[in-house]
Structure 1
C-alpha cells in the first residue's frame, strides 16, 4: 500500500515528530512518502536519513493556489492508495488535491483542535466553514484524543467519519541509562546535586512556561531546563532577568536528544491547559520522572492508576511553587517505574492501529466488481 502524507511543514513540532515516529513504525506493507507544503526543516532531514522520500512543494503562503496543481500532479504521478493530511493548511489543499487526482481513500489527522482555536489560532465563522467543507472531501478524520473527537462532534462532523487514534511515544528510546545523567548535566553546566525542573515544548504562549520561571523565585538553587524553541524566547529570558533567576533558567532550544535531556531532570513540569494530547507528559513518565501538569487529555482518558507518577495542578505560580517545594531540595535518586500509560501509548501499538485503519478504509473504498452489487 502506497501512502502520501501531506503536511504543512516539517519543523520540529509535535505533529511533525508524530509523523516521523508513525512512519518509522508502520507495518512493512505500508510504503510512505511525505509532501511538505512549506518549511522543510529538521524533521524532513530526519525522514530522508531514514530513507523516506520527502517532496518539497515550496508554497509561499496560505493563499498560494499555485501549489494545488503541483500537488495534484505529484499525487497522480505517485499512484498512491491513500493520501493522509496533517495540520490545517495541508488538510485544505491536500484533501482537495487528492480528490482531483482521483484518490478515493483520503484521511486527515486532527492534531490540535479546540472549541475556539485550531493550532493555536482563533477560529472564526469563515475558518470553521472552510474546515468543514474540506473535511467532507475526506473519508475519515483521525482525532488524537477523545477531547479532539468531542470538538469535532461539536463542530458538526458526523461520528461515523471520526476515528480516535491516539498519538504515541517511542517508549524504548527513553530507556536511557540513569548513570548518564551526571554526564548530561556536566555538558549543560548543571551541578550534579542540583534539583532540575524540566519542561519540553515550543516556546509559545499556550505552553505557559512563564509560570515555571516565576515559580523559581521561592525555589533557591533550583534549575529550570527548557527544551524547545519559539517566539516566546525573548519574553521568557526577560522575565527570568526581572525576577533575578536568569542564571537558573536554561533555554537550550530545539534538540533531537530529548531522552538524554530528560535523564538530567528530576521532575517534568507542563503548566499548559491547551493540550489536545500531552506528549511531553508521557515522555516524562517514560523517562521515569514524576510529572506535574495542568492538562493532559491522554492521561485524563485513562484510569488514575495508569499514571501514578503524574499529578494535575492548577496552572498557577502558587500551585507549582507548592508542589515543587514539597519535593524537597534533593535531586531524584532513581527513576520511577514505567506506568501502564506508557505502554498504552507506545507508538508501536498506535502505528499498527493506523495500518489497520488504512487497510479497512482501502477495502471499503474499492469499487464493487460488475455483477457483485447487492
Structure 2
C-alpha cells in the first residue's frame, strides 16, 4: 500500500513527532508532504528513510496550492492519503478527491473544547472543517475525548476511529548518568529540587502558572523545554519575581538537553535526558487532546501534576498512580509542589498506563484503519449499487465536482489556522 501523509509543516510538536514514530512502524510505503515548509523534523524523517516533499504554500490565500497539491497526489499514484492538522486536512481531503484518490484518512490531533491547534473555534472554522470532513473515508481521534468532540460537531459515528497516540517507553527510562550530566551542564546543584515542563510556549499551555508557582518556592529550579511567542514574557516574569537564575528556558535545541551531550548519540533535543534531570513534571495546560508529555514523564518514573490529560483521565486511577490533576491556579500548584518536595527525591515504578500506549500498538491500529478504508473504496468502485458511499452529500460527488468553500464568505474572515 502506498500512502501519502499530508501535514501542514514539520515543526517540533506532538503531532509531527507522533507522525515520525508511526512512519517507522507502519507496514506501508509512506511518503510525507508538507504544505508550508519542511521544519526541523523533516531531516530526521528523511534520515529514517521516508521521502519528504514540500508544496511551498505561502499562506491561506495561495490559490495555486490546491491544484498543485492535487497534481502531486495524482502523479504519486497513492492508494491512500492521510492528512494531519487542520489546514492539511482541509486542503488534503479536497486535493485527494480531485486527484481521484477515494481512500482518505484524517487524524484529529489537537481538537479542544474551545480551540483547535491554538485557534478559537469560530463558526467559520467549524463550517469549513465539516464541509471537507465529508470528503474523507475515516477520521481518527487520538482519544475518546476527541472522538466525543467530533460527534458533537456532527461527524458520523461510523467514520470516527479512536487510535490513541503512542510512545517509545524504553527511551524515557530514568538514567542517573544523564541526570548528573544535564544538571552539571546547567549549573544546578545535584541535590536541588527541580521541576520540569515541556511544550510550546503559547498562551493556551499556561506555563505562566508554572513559572509563577516556582518563583514562590525558594531554592526550587524549573527546566522548561520549548519555544514559542511567550518565551520572552516568561523570562521577564521570572526576573520580575527575582527568580531569573532559577527559571531555565531551554528552547527546543538547547545544548544542555542535547541528545549527543547526554551520550545518546544523535543531535536534537534530548527530552529523556531532561526528564531524568528533574524531580517532578508539570503540565499546566487545561485543554489537551491526549497528553503525550505526561505519558513520557510517567515512563521516566516521575510524579506528574497536570491540568488536562485524556490519556490518563480516560482510564481507572490505578493505571497512573503517580499522576495527579490540579486546578489552574498558582496556589494549588505551589502547595502540590511543596508536598512533593517534602517527600524527598525518588523514582516511581513505571505505571501500567505507559504500557497501554505503546507506539507499536498505535501503528497496528492505524494500519487496520487504512486497510478498511482502501477495501471500502475498492468495493464501491467494483459494486457501487451494493456498498453505500460515505455519509454526506459532498462525499458522493464526483471528484471533478468537489469545491472548497470560499473562506471569504465565511462568518470568520480567516477560518484556516496558521497550522
Write the distance in 2 (CA, Å) between the matches of 1:274 and 1:113.
9
Write the distance in 2 (CA, Å) between the matches of 1:14 and 1:180.
23
CA distance 1:155–1:288, change in 2 (3 Å)? same
**For residue 176 of structure 2, what is the aligned residue in structure 1?**
178
**For residue 22 of structure 1, what is the aligned residue in structure 2?**
22
Q: Please give the secondary structure, in 1, of the residue aligned with 2:18.
A: helix
**For residue 95 of structure 2, what is the aligned residue in structure 1?**
97
- Match among 364, 369, 376 for residue 364 of structure 1: 376
Alpha-carbon offset, residue 367 of structure 1: 3.6
Alpha-carbon offset, residue 5 of structure 1: 0.3
- Match among 275, 282, 285 for residue 262 of structure 1: 275
CA distance 1:129–1:371, change in 2 (3 Å)? closer
**For residue 240 of structure 1, what is the aligned residue in structure 2?**
238
Contact 2:281/2:303 (<8 A) preserved: yes
**For residue 354 of structure 1, what is the aligned residue in structure 2?**
366
**For residue 322 of structure 1, what is the aligned residue in structure 2?**
335
**For residue 132 of structure 1, what is the aligned residue in structure 2?**
130
Matches within 5 A, 1:210-225: 210-225=208-223
Deviations 1:22-58 (A, max 9, x none): 111223xx11100000131111111011111000111
CA distance 1:369–1:123, change in 2 (3 Å)? closer
Write the distance in 1 (CA, Å) between the matches of 2:280 and 2:241.
22
Alpha-carbon offset, residue 115 of structure 1: 3.2
Q: Please give the secondary structure, in 2, of the residue aligned with 1:25.
A: coil
Alpha-carbon offset, residue 6 of structure 1: 0.2
Write the distance in 1 (CA, Å) between the matches of 2:184 and 2:141.
41
**For residue 298 of structure 2, what is the aligned residue in structure 1?**
285
Contact 1:7/1:34 (<8 A) preserved: yes
Q: Please give the secondary structure, in 1, of the residue aligned with 2:9.
A: coil
**For residue 305 of structure 1, what is the aligned residue in structure 2?**
318
CA distance 1:368–1:198, change in 2 (3 Å)? closer
Is 1:340 the counterpart of 2:338? The answer is no
Write the distance in 2 (CA, Å) between the matches of 1:259 and 1:292.
18
Q: Please give the secondary structure, in 2, of the residue aligned with 1:109.
A: strand
Alpha-carbon offset, residue 174 of structure 1: 1.1
Is 1:275 the counterpart of 2:288? The answer is yes
CA distance 1:77–1:233, change in 2 (3 Å)? same
Write the distance in 2 (CA, Å) between the matches of 1:347 and 1:188.
32
**TM-score, normalising length: structure 2:** 0.86
Alpha-carbon offset, residue 218 of structure 1: 2.9
**For residue 12 of structure 1, what is the aligned residue in structure 2?**
12
**TM-score, normalising length: structure 1:** 0.96
Write the distance in 2 (CA, Å) between the matches of 1:242 and 1:372.
67
Once the two structures are overlaid, the 10-residue window that deviates more, 16-25 or 171-180, is 171-180
Contact 1:193/1:331 (<8 A) preserved: no
**For residue 390 of structure 2, what is the aligned residue in structure 1?**
none
**For residue 249 of structure 2, what is the aligned residue in structure 1?**
251
CA distance 1:326–1:176, change in 2 (3 Å)? closer
Once the two structures are overlaid, the 10-residue window that deviates more, 215-224 or 129-138, is 215-224
CA distance 1:39–1:371, change in 2 (3 Å)? closer
Contact 1:196/1:265 (<8 A) preserved: yes
- In angstroms, what is the RMSD of aligned CA positions? 1.6
Deviations 1:271-294 (A, max 9, x none): 110111111100100111110111
**For residue 140 of structure 2, what is the aligned residue in structure 1?**
142
**For residue 226 of structure 2, what is the aligned residue in structure 1?**
228
Contact 2:37/2:55 (<8 A) preserved: no
Q: Please give the secondary structure, in 1, of the residue aligned with 2:37.
A: coil
Alpha-carbon offset, residue 179 of structure 1: 3.2
Alpha-carbon offset, residue 260 of structure 1: 1.1
Write the distance in 2 (CA, Å) between the matches of 1:316 and 1:370.
58
Deviations 1:179-210 (A, max 9, x none): 32111211222111111100000001111111
**For residue 78 of structure 2, what is the aligned residue in structure 1?**
80
> What 5-or-longer segments of structure 1 have no aligned partner?
none
The aligned length equals 371
Alpha-carbon offset, residue 213 of structure 1: 1.2
Q: Please give the secondary structure, in 1, of the residue aligned with 2:24.
A: helix
**For residue 395 of structure 2, what is the aligned residue in structure 1?**
none
The higher relative CO (CA closer than 8 Å, separation ≥ 6) is in: 2
